[in-house]
C-alpha cells in the first residue's frame, strides 16, 4: 500500500509541473490545466464520446494518514482529458477548459490537422471543442480541398487562424454576449497556405481589381459560400469592421431551434 502512496505523489508532482496558467484577457481569466496530451487519429468515428466519470479510489488507512504533502497532492483536481473522436480530425485530447464568467468547455482538443485526403494542417493549432473540430475538419475535407484545386489550381497545405478558444465577449467588447470563442465553438481564419508556398490572405485578397489576383478572390468567395452551408455563423469582410482581416466561423445556436444561420 505504501508503494501505491508513492506512486500517487509522483503523478501529482508531474501534474503540477505541467499545469499552465493562461493570463486573463479583457477582464476575463481562465485556466487551462494540462496533463500529458494524447495524440490520436480516428478517421472513421462520427460523434464525441460521452464523458465517463472517473471514480475516486477508496483511501486506505496508510494513505489517509500520510504526511501533509501527500495529503495536498491527493486534493489536486483530476485533469483527465475526455476523449474526442471525430471524423477527419487529428486531435490531441485536452483536460476540460475551465474559465471564468461562463468560459470553458469539454471535451476540449488541440486540432492539429485534417487527416482525410485533404491532409491540411493548422498554424497555429487551435484549441476548440470536439464538435467544432469535427465540423471544421469535415468542411475542409469535403469542400475546401476541392475549391482549392478548382479556383487556385493547387492543393491546400495549411489554414492559418487564431487560437480558437478565447475567454471574451463578442468582438472583444467589454459588454454584450459571450463570444462563441469562449466555449470553443469558433475559429477566426486569416489565410490559406498552398503546397507551392503561396498564401492567400483574407486581408489582402478578399477584394481588388487586379485581374491576376482573380483566382485568389474566387477561392476566398467560394470558401465563404461553402462555410455558410456548414456553420451557423460566418462573418467575413462583408460583415462589419471587426472582420476585415479574417473569416469567423462558428457553430453557435441562433434562435429557439438553433437552425437560424448568419452568413455575411
Nearer to Zn ion, 152 or 181 (CB): 181
CB of 236 to Zn ion, least distance (A): 11
Nearer to Zn ion, 104 or 252 (CB): 252
Residues that bind Zn ion (CB under 5 A): 188, 248
CB of 108 to Zn ion, least distance (A): 18
| Residue nearest Zn ion, Cβ-based | 248
Q: For residues 160 and 189, give the distance between their C-alpha atoms in angstroms, rounded to a whole number.
A: 6
Nearer to Zn ion, 152 or 169 (CB): 169
By three-state DSSP, how is residue 181 classified? helix
DSSP state of 29: E
3-state secondary structure 204-247: HHCCCCCHHHHHHHHHHHHHHHHHHHHCCEEECCCCCHHHCCCE
Is-contact 247 219, C-beta < 8 A? no
| The three grid cell numbers given for residue 227, joined into one nine-digit string | 462555410
Nearer to Zn ion, 81 or 252 (CB): 252
Q: For residues 214 and 109, give the distance between their C-alpha atoms in angstroms, rounded to a whole number.
A: 36
CB of 166 to Zn ion, least distance (A): 8
Nearer to Zn ion, 90 or 188 (CB): 188
Is-contact 109 128, C-beta < 8 A? yes
CB of 235 to Zn ion, least distance (A): 7
Nearer to Zn ion, 112 or 179 (CB): 179
CB of 201 to Zn ion, least distance (A): 16
Q: List Cα–Cα distances, 3 to 58, 67, 103, in angstroms.
A: 15, 14, 39
> What count of other Cβ atoms lies within 10 Å of the Cβ of residue 74?
17
CB of 248 to Zn ion, least distance (A): 3
CB of 22 to Zn ion, least distance (A): 18
Q: For residues 258 and 235, give the distance between their C-alpha atoms in angstroms, rounded to a whole number.
A: 17
Nearer to Zn ion, 93 or 188 (CB): 188
By three-state DSSP, how is residue 259 classified? coil
Amino acid at each position: 500500500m505504501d508503494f501505491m502512496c508513492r506512486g500517487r505523489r509522483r503523478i501529482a508532482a508531474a501534474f503540477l509541473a505541467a499545469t499552465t496558467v493562461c493570463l486573463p484577457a479583457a477582464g476575463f481569466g481562465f485556466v487551462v490545466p494540462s496533463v500529458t496530451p494524447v495524440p490520436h487519429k480516428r478517421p472513421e468515428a462520427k460523434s464525441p464520446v460521452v464523458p465517463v466519470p472517473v471514480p475516486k479510489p477508496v483511501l486506505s488507512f496508510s494513505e489517509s494518514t500520510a504526511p501533509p504533502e501527500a495529503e495536498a497532492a491527493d486534493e489536486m483536481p483530476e485533469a483527465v482529458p475526455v476523449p474526442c473522436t471525430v471524423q477527419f480530425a487529428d486531435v490531441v485530447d485536452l483536460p476540460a477548459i475551465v474559465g471564468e464568467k461562463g468560459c470553458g468547455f469539454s471535451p476540449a482538443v488541440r486540432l492539429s490537422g485534417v487527416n482525410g485526403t485533404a491532409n491540411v494542417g493548422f498554424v497555429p493549432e487551435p484549441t476548440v471543442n470536439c464538435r467544432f473540430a469535427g465540423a471544421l475538419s469535415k468542411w475542409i475535407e469535403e469542400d475546401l480541398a476541392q475549391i482549392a484545386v478548382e479556383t487556385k489550381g493547387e492543393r491546400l497545405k495549411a489554414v492559418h487562424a487564431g487560437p480558437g478558444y478565447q475567454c471574451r465577449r463578442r468582438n472583444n467588447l467589454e459588454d454584450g454576449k459571450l463570444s462563441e470563442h469562449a466555449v470553443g465553438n469558433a475559429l477566426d481564419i486569416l489565410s490559406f497556405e498552398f503546397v507551392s508556398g503561396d498564401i492567400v490572405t483574407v486581408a489582402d485578397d478578399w477584394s481588388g481589381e487586379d485581374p491576376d489576383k482573380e483566382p485568389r478572390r474566387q477561392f476566398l468567395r467560394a470558401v465563404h459560400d461553402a462555410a455558410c452551408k456548414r456553420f451557423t455563423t460566418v462573418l467575413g469582410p462583408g460583415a462589419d469592421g471587426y472582420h476585415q482581416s479574417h473569416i469567423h466561423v462558428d457553430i453557435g445556436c441562433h434562435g429557439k431551434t438553433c437552425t437560424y444561420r448568419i452568413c455575411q
